Amino acid sequence: MAANTARIAVIGAGWWATYTHIPGIRDNPDAELAAVCDRSPEALERVAKAFAPIKTYPDYREMLAAEKLDGAIVATNHATHYEITKACLEAGLHVLLEKPMVLHAAEAHELVRLAEQKGRQLIIGYPWPFTDLVRQARAVIQSGELGAIQLINCLYASMVIEFYRGNDQAYQSLFNYPVTGPGAVYSDPKLSGGGQGHLQITHAAGSLFFVTGLQAEQVSALMANWDVKVDLVDAITVRFKGADGRAAIGTIASTGNISKGDGGRLDLGIYCENGYLHLDPVRGTLTVRPHNGPERRVGPVPDDERYPRFATAGNLVDVILGRAENGLPAAVAAKVVELLDAAYRSAAAGGQPVRVADLD
C-alpha cells in the first residue's frame, strides 16, 4: 500500500453500499478497499462474487480488530448507525456515515463530541451540499446580502413509496441494483426508525441547515402513514433559534408518493429581510432575488452534476490524505437529527410542540 493511499473498509453490503460506496472506493486511485463487512452471509457471498477479489467479515468488531485502517464507511440500517460509528471512532478512524446520521439527538451530540475528542472527522453522506449549486446558495445567504432570514418554505416530493411497501423490485429498472436492493429495510420501522422523515426529509433538511446555518428551537409535526408501516406524508413547522425577537420560522412538507420514474422536486425557499432565494437541487436551479437589484439565475445545471453520489466517499479519501476539509460535518447533520427527533415525538403526541432543548 502506498503512503498516499487511504485504506478504507465498508460496513454494510446493502443497496447503497454496493451501488455507490464500494465501487466509489474501489475505483478511486488514491484509496484501497480493505474489506467489506455485513452480518448477512448471503450479502457477503454476493459482494464477494460481484467485487472479487475482496476481503469480507461477518462482524465489524472482528474487522476493526484485525485490519489496519484509515477510515470506514458505515452504510447499514438506520437503527445501527450510532453503535457502529461509535466503535469506528473509538478505533481512531475517520468515518463517512450514511444519512440519516442517527435517530436521536442525544446520539448525534455524543458522536460529534467523540469525533472531536479523537481528532477524527465524521462526514455525513448528503451529496447535495457537495454541488456547486448548493454551495453558491450557501455563499449568498452567509454573505449577508439578503439580510436576516425570516421564513423558510421547503417542499420535498420523492419516489420511494414502493420501498416503504418492501417492494424494491418496483424500482429495479430505474436503479439497476448491481448486487441487491434495499429489501425490507425501509419498510420496517425497527430498522429504519421511520419513513419519509428519516429517509427523505433528512436530505432536504441537510441542505437547509448547510445553506442557512440555522438551528431548530421548537418543532411541531403531523405525519400520515396511509397504507404503509412508516410515515409517508409529513408536515413540520419550525421556529429556529434567534435573538431579540428575530427568530426565523418555517415549514417543511414532504411526500414519498410520486409516480415511478418521476425525479421529484425539492423547493427550498429562503425569504429574508432584503430579498429571497429559491433552490431546487433536484432540477438543478437557483434563483436569487434581492429587493434592490436584478434577479440572478443559475441552471439548470447538467443532470450529472445534480446528485454527485460518489462525492461523499471521495471526500473521505481526501480528508484522510489531508487534501480537503470535511464537506458535510457531523455538527451540521446533528441539527437535522434534532429536527427529526423532535418532529417524530411531536407527531406521536398529536402535533404538540417539542423543544429541541428538551430532547437530551
Within 13 A of 252's CA, how many CA atoms are on the CB side? Answer: 26
Tell me whether residue 347 is in a domain.
yes
As a whole number of angstroms, the longest Cα–Cα distance in the chain is 62
d(CA 135, CA 73): 24
* 95 and 147, same domain (yes or no): no
**Residue the block writes with cell 430532547:** 359
User: What single-letter DSSP state applies at residue 302?
Assistant: P
**CATH code of the domain covering residue 270:** 3.30.360.10
| Angle of helix 105-118 versus helix 330-348 axis, rounded to 10 | 170
Tell me whether residue 1 is in a domain.
no
d(CA 250, CA 205): 12
| CB atoms closer than 10 angstroms to residue 279 | 30
* 155 and 115, same domain (yes or no): no
* 182 and 243, same domain (yes or no): yes
DSSP bridge pairs for 44: none
**Residue range(s) defining the domain that contains residue 296:** 129-305+337-358
* 200 and 280, same domain (yes or no): yes
Mean pLDDT of the chain: 95
* 54 and 98, same domain (yes or no): yes
* 121 and 172, same domain (yes or no): no
Q: pLDDT of 26-50, one tens digit each?
A: 999 999 999 999 999 999 999 999 9
Peptide bond into 300 cis (omega under 30): yes
Tell me whether residue 117 is in a domain.
yes
27: exposed, middle or buried (Cβ count in 10 Å: 0-12, 13-18, 19+): exposed
* 136 and 163, same domain (yes or no): yes
Please say if the pLDDT value at position 343 is more than 90.
yes
In the chain, the number of structural domains is 2
Alpha carbon distance, N-terminus to C-terminus of the chain: 43
131 neighbors 305 (Cβ within 8 angstroms) = yes
pTM, two decimal places: 0.95
Which segments of 106-224 are extended strands (E)? 122-125, 149-157, 216-224
Query: What percentage of the chain exceeds 70 in pLDDT?
Result: 99
Q: pLDDT of 146-192, one tens digit each?
A: 999 999 999 999 999 999 999 999 999 998 888 889 999 999 999 99
Tell me whether residue 30 is in a domain.
yes
Q: pLDDT of 229-278, one tens digit each?
A: 999 999 999 999 987 778 999 999 999 999 999 999 999 999 999 999 99
**CATH code of the domain covering residue 10:** 3.40.50.720
* 271 and 251, same domain (yes or no): yes
pLDDT of residue 1: 40
* 263 and 172, same domain (yes or no): yes
* 62 and 170, same domain (yes or no): no
Peptide bond into 353 cis (omega under 30): no
187 neighbors 166 (Cβ within 8 angstroms) = yes
* 50 and 147, same domain (yes or no): no
Please say if the pLDDT value at position 194 is more than 60.
yes
* 232 and 247, same domain (yes or no): yes
Tell me whether residue 95 is in a domain.
yes
Please say if the pLDDT value at position 198 is more than 70.
yes
Residue 254, CA distances (Å) to 179, 200, 201, 239 in order: 30, 8, 7, 18
